[in-house]
Amino acid sequence: MAAAAPFLVVSGLAKRFGGVRALRGVDLDVRAGEVHGLVGANGAGKSTLIRILAGVFAPDGGTITLDGRPVTIATPHQATDLGLGFIHQDLNLVTQLTGIENIMLGVPKPSRLGLIDWKTIRADAAATVARVGIDFSLDAKVATLSTAQRWLVSICRALMRKARLIVMDEPTASLSAHEAGNLFRIVRQLRREGIAILYVSHRLDEILDLCDRVTAFRDGARVMHSERAALTRASLVDAIVGGSLSQASSPPMAVSAQGEPVLTVTALARLPMVRGVDFVLRRGEVLGFAGLVGAGRSEVMRLIYGADRPHRGSMALGGSPFSPRTPRDAVKAGIGLVPEERRSEGLVLNRSVAFNMALPSNRRFTLSPLPLLSGSRRDRWARSTAARVLVKTPSVGTPVQRLSGGNQQKVVIGRWIDRDLKILILDEPSRGVDIGARGEIHRLIRSLAAEGLAVIVVSSEAEELPGLCDRVLVMAEGRIVECLEGAAINRDAIVAASYKHAPQDRASA
């Protein structure tokens, strides 16, 4: 491996977003026929580097060299032409198209009499399909495929585009052990075929088992680069966290000093992502949920909100058994949710601010006894609520798609204001939100808690939870593994706890 010339060389790459230095002159090289691991906590700069290589962001400084030739990657299409393939965590597949249609997106297609010749396309793709080990129908819509099957479609698409380097971002976050084992087999096969793999993962045992070399980022800088043989799990964690785990230990599970219990969760499980969760949420408390990608945090929230049903375990709301069959049941019981994907799951983008705010409350604005909506009554309420949550909009009649990310988030929060709410769940409330709006959202969360509302905040950003939460529960492999409280809540403690309990021994599956 040491004798192979690098296919990709990144030198001194820098990127700034406003006052935030996302990359501080990082170096990286990836050789043909190697699996190169890239590790680091959330916000370390990994995603920024990937987006620069993909032609989504332009760097502020530094150079990118492919096969010894300096290149400028201005667009995603140009990245593809240069032999770079990207399989992002959300996969970026068109779910209403079939597997074969997704594989051939962006690839020139043979035609006959002005029509796409799918018979020839299938024949041309057959070798690649067999190479990846696809044993399901590619005529099925992607929406019907499992996550593991979608990964195989994505790998096949990269290979059909003649990718010489494939970036895989958190490939096993939502896979079972068996599915992960199949992916590892394909990764090793691609390595033998001379394809370079940049493997980005929080699962350190996968990194140690699969990768030939590993690079670690921290706070936008490269802090470690090493051959696999010189690394241990402890040394990887030390590079990521910036100190030993023993320096960031947490106290045992403690009882919060907040009000009376609102929600009690006991042995809650929905396999494979939630494997037995116990906690108590109290009135007036802001309870944080932290952990690495795939730890099961959002899946727990879906169980509380009735979007999924548990396989076992129980919940009690205000001392009474609680088992919502649908989100409607949860809303009736006094639970609100601000979802992780607000644009696709929380908003109707082409409708107004007032429409979106009133979605769970439209019955309040009907003209009794007629089932007719009073637009003026709804708009008055929306104006008052928008002012309370500081939504910046020309009017409540403005389509919500015209607002900034922060103001869209405040619209989703605002819909739960002025209701008989007991619990508000916010999943990644600061994602895609500028620093000013983030501060406003945090102040709103604390004010709601001060009024007696119980609040759950799920965040992948370890910097977000200190100063906001009364307690932070750290999850790993579908379980709560640490409780941080009071002064013990800090970024280093959250990151260290997340990695200390990260899953082990999956890569040998």
**What pLDDT is stored for residue 412 in this prediction?**
92
- Give the model confidence (pLDDT) of 186-241 as tens digits: 999 999 999 999 999 888 888 999 999 999 998 899 999 999 999 988 888 888 87
Query: Of residues 232 and 502, which shows the higher confidence score?
Result: 232
Q: What is the pLDDT of residues 39-75, one digit of tens each?
A: 987 778 898 999 999 999 999 999 999 999 999 999 9
- 3-state SS assignment for residue 140: coil
Mean per-residue pLDDT, 283-296: 90
For residue 105, name the pLDDT band (cuts at 50, 70, 90).
confident
pLDDT given for residue 272 in this prediction: 85
Task: State what percent of residues in the chain have pLDDT above 90.
Answer: 50
Tell me: the pLDDT tens digits for 270-289? Answer: 988 899 999 999 999 999 99
Q: What is the pLDDT of residue 438?
A: 79
* Residue 419 CA neighbour count, 13 Å, CB half: 25
User: What is the rounded average pLDDT for all residues in the chain?
Assistant: 86
The per-residue b/e assignment along 88-117, b for 16 or more CB within 10 angstroms, e otherwise, is beebebeeeebbbbbbbeeeeeeeeeeeee
Q: pLDDT tens across 109-124, in order?
A: 777 777 888 888 888 8
What's the rounded Cα separation, in Å, for the pair 50 and 169? 9
400-446: per-residue pLDDT in tens? 888 877 888 899 998 888 778 999 999 988 877 766 777 888 999 99
Tokens 């649908």, located at residue = 326
- d(C-alpha 504, C-alpha 145), whole Å: 27
Band (505; pLDDT cuts 50, 70, 90): very low
Determine contact, residues 128/190, Cβ cutoff 8 Å: no
What pLDDT sits at residue 249? 38
Q: Is the pTM of this model over 0.75?
A: no
The two three-digit tokens of residue 348, written as one number: 């109707």
In this structure, what token pair is assigned to residue 369? 């006894």
Average pLDDT over residues 253-281: 83
Distance from C-alpha of 199 to C-alpha of 210, rounded to nearest angstrom: 9
Least confident window among 33-42, 357-366, 454-463: 357-366
Per-residue pLDDT at 341: 79
Question: Nearest Cα to 185, choosing from 129, 132, 229?
Answer: 132
